[in-house]
Amino acid sequence: MLYNKLQDISEEEIDSLLNRGGELTEVKSQVEPILTDIRNRGDSALNFYTKKFDGAEIEQFEISPEEIENAFHKIDEKLIRNLKKAAENIRKFHFAQLPEKLWFIEIEPGVELGQKFSPLENVGAYVPGGRASYPSTALMTIIPAKVAGVKNVIMCTPPGADGTINPLTLAAAKIAGADHVYRVGGVQAIGAMAYGTETIKKVDKIVGPGNVYVTTAKMLVRDKAEIDFPAGPSEVLIIADESADARMVASDIVAQSEHDPQAVSVLITTSDILAKEVKDEVIRQSAAAKRHEIIDKSLENSAILITDTVQSCIEFSNRFAPEHLEIVVSDPESVLEGIENAGSIFVGSYAPVSAGDYASGTNHVLPTAGYAKIYSGLNINHFIKYLTIQKITKKGLENICDPIISIAEEEGLYSHADAVRLRFDH
């Protein structure tokens, strides 16, 4: 773990923190042939790559309603209640994001403009597997789509070597409202959703996080299916001052680190004392953690930085553009006001990233690797289109005919001008 004063860090070390997440181009040559094969051979290619990468022989990719229903009976009732509670909060938050269905404004007499939204018809939700199962991601990707009104939401998730899916993930898919669930993961799942196969219907948009291979695949299929944004290894940046609790801050660094060996955790603080205490606590907590091998590897990517002012913390955070940003200072509102780039923000000692990951209600599918500078986290707007409307009377067209005609003729589009003139010729 890098531990130093911000002003003493080399440009190379800063670049390593800012240009994190791995180059998608590094795996492009491996991903492209798989996508091409899926496009050409459909289910046959899906079987081949599922056997190759997951070790599973699949007879039926779609998971039956009976198998999903049976999953509920394998799960503790308390866990189901908690899953439903999390789903309820996620649903409430995303309902609050819904825009007005239809609105109009009179620009001038006789010219009334409006907007309505229309949901996408088919959406694919990718839910990772591999190192862990992620029922929470099923909730986060499917619920907003259904709240937006998407008619058909499918979910793809990698199978185990025995061809089964974690029962809790299946339960989450049902609670969230998935219309179809498929046991297929990785690049092959992205290709199947983008191009369609004999079994899996092509979708209009693909959402959900994944490793560098999945993310690269998403970027490569954008000519056939839109995506949410690149979402790779998880990360957190914590802005803290002397008021922060070192044990709590360290616990959030350790929690973030257990996601993936490539996960990144950064603490930037104005307190030398806090920095030292957090470093010691991270060492102690990581040694006792169940996933300590993953955590130890992840901590190699991480940093504790010390600076003189809170403003310097804010400026570095905006350059870093973290997926998750925690603000743990005595005056959080002043820091919040200066933040421009972040996927999701957590304010106060009792707002750990874990809350947003599971049950507070905000979405945990967020842009990583600095993409928070240009993308928003998953939200209702990812699942809807906006249609503009114009209601114009004869008097209204008279009021705007001069700018229409003069600008159209200046552009050399004389028939555009004539289309207005002829309406008044008679």
Is 30 marked as a binding-site residue? no
3-state helix/strand/coil string of the chain: CEEEEHHHCCHHHHHHHHCCCCCCHHHHHHHHHHHHHHHHHCHHHHHHHHHHHHCCCCCCCECCHHHHHHHHHCCCHHHHHHHHHHHHHHHHHHHHHCCCCEEEEEEECCEEEEEEEEECCEEEEECCCCCCCCHHHHHHHHHHHHHHCCCEEEEEECCCCCCCCCHHHHHHHHHHCCCEEEECCHHHHHHHHHHCCCCCCCCCEEECCCCHHHHHHHHHCCCCCEECCCCCCCEEEEEECCCCCHHHHHHHHHHHHCCCCCCEEEEEECCHHHHHHHHHHHHHHHHHCCCHHHHHHHHCCCEEEECCCHHHHHHHHHHHCCCEEEEECCCHHHHHHHCCCCCEEEECCCCCHHHHHHCCCCCCCCCCCCHHHCCCCCCHHHHEEEEEEEEECHHHHHHHHHHHHHHHHHCCCHHHHHHHHHHHHC
Query: Is 188 a known ligand-binding residue?
Result: yes
Q: Is 418 annotated as a binding residue?
A: no
Task: Establish whether 94 is an annotated binding residue.
Answer: no
Contacts by 356-363, CB closer than 8 A, 24 or more apart: 356/324, 357/136, 358/86, 358/136, 359/82, 359/85, 359/86, 359/89, 360/89, 360/93, 361/89, 361/90, 361/92, 361/93, 361/94, 362/93, 363/90, 363/93, 363/94, 363/140, 363/144
Single-letter amino acid, residue 19:
N
Q: Is 180 annotated as a binding residue?
A: no
CA 6 to chain CA mean position, Å: 29
Selection from 26, 212, 72, 62 nearest residue 128 by Cα: 212
Block residue for tokens 């200066």: 338
| Residue 126 marked ligand-binding | yes
- The answer to the question of whether 228 is labelled as a binding residue is no
Q: Which residues are catalytic?
A: 323-324
For residue 411, say whether it is annotated as part of any ligand binding site. Answer: yes
* 357 among annotated binding-site residues: yes
Check whether 281 is labelled as a binding-site residue: no
Residues placed in the known binding site:
126, 188, 211, 234, 256, 259, 324, 357, 411, 416
Residues placed in the known binding site for Zn(2+):
256, 259, 357, 416
Residues placed in the known binding site for NAD(+):
126, 188, 211
Residues placed in the known binding site for substrate:
234, 256, 259, 324, 357, 411, 416
